[in-house]
Amino acid sequence: MGAIAMAAPLGTQIRERILESAAALMEERSFFDISLADIARAARISKGTLYYYYNSRDAILFDLTDRYLQKLSDDLLAWVDNEEKDTSLPRLLRYTFSRGVYDKSGSMRLFLIAEAVSGKGDVRDKLLEKYAHFKNVLAQKIAARKPGADGEYLAWLTLTVMDGMLVQSQLKNPALDTDAFIEATARLITEC
C-alpha cells in the first residue's frame, strides 16, 4: 500500500500567503508605505489572522529577508552545480551580475540593504551571513575555474559590483548600458 500524501498544514499555507502578498506589495511600493492592514487585504485574510502569524511588519520583513536570501542561494547553487550547463568563469560572472541586476526582486534586496544600513540589526546580521555564504560559494567556484586567482578577492569584487549595478538599475540610469557593462566586467575579471 502506498504512502498517503499529506497536505501542508493550513498555518504554513497562510504564512506563505502573507509573505507572498507582502512581497508582491513591495514590488509596487516601499515597505514603509505598506501597513499590516494592506498585507491582510492582499492576502485575503482578516487582520486578526495576520496578527496571529505576524504581530509586526518587522517580523514579516525578517521572514521575507530569510526567504529571499535563501532563494538566491539555492538558485546560485543549482546553477553552478548543473553539470549540463556551461558554467565557465565568464558565464558564472554574467549569470551572477545579470541575476543581481535583473532579478524582479531587486528592489527588495536594495530595501533590505537600506534597512540593514539604517540600523535593523537582525536584517543586517542575516544579510552579512548570506553575503559571507555567497562570497564563499563564488570564491570556491572562481578558484576552481581560474586556478591561481585570488578567488576570495574576485568574489567580493563580483558581489560589490553586482550591488552597484543594482543601484544604477533601480535608479534607471540612462547613462549606464547594463548589458555592455556586464560583458566588459566579466571579460576584465576573467582576464585579470
37-41, 105-109, 121-125: the lowest-pLDDT one: 105-109
Each residue's pLDDT tens digit, 139-182: 999 999 999 999 999 999 999 999 999 999 989 999 999 999 99
Radius of gyration of the chain, Cα coordinates, nearest whole angstrom: 19
Q: Pinpoint the residues of the chain covered by CATH 1.10.10.60.
A: 1-55
Q: Kindly state the cell numbers that stand for 35.
A: 501597513
CATH architecture of 1-55: Orthogonal Bundle (1.10)
Q: Label residue 44 left, alpha or beta by phi (over 0 means left) and psi (-120 to 50 means alpha).
A: left
Predicted local distance difference test score (pLDDT) of residue 122: 84
Of 61 and 105, more confident: 61
Do 73 and 130 meet the contact criterion of CB atoms below 8 Å apart?
yes
For residues 129 and 83, give the distance between their C-alpha atoms in angstroms, rounded to a whole number. Answer: 27
**Mean of pLDDT over the chain:** 88
For residues 153 and 85, give the distance between their C-alpha atoms in angstroms, rounded to a whole number. Answer: 25
Of 1 and 40, more confident: 40
Q: Pinpoint the residues of the chain covered by CATH 1.10.357.
A: 61-191
For residues 133 and 73, give the distance between their C-alpha atoms in angstroms, rounded to a whole number. Answer: 8
Each residue's pLDDT tens digit, 32-78: 899 999 999 999 999 999 999 999 988 898 898 888 878 888 888 89
Return the CATH fold of 61-191. Answer: Tetracycline Repressor; domain 2 (1.10.357)
Comparing C-alpha atoms, which of 34, 101, 104 is closest to residue 68? Answer: 104
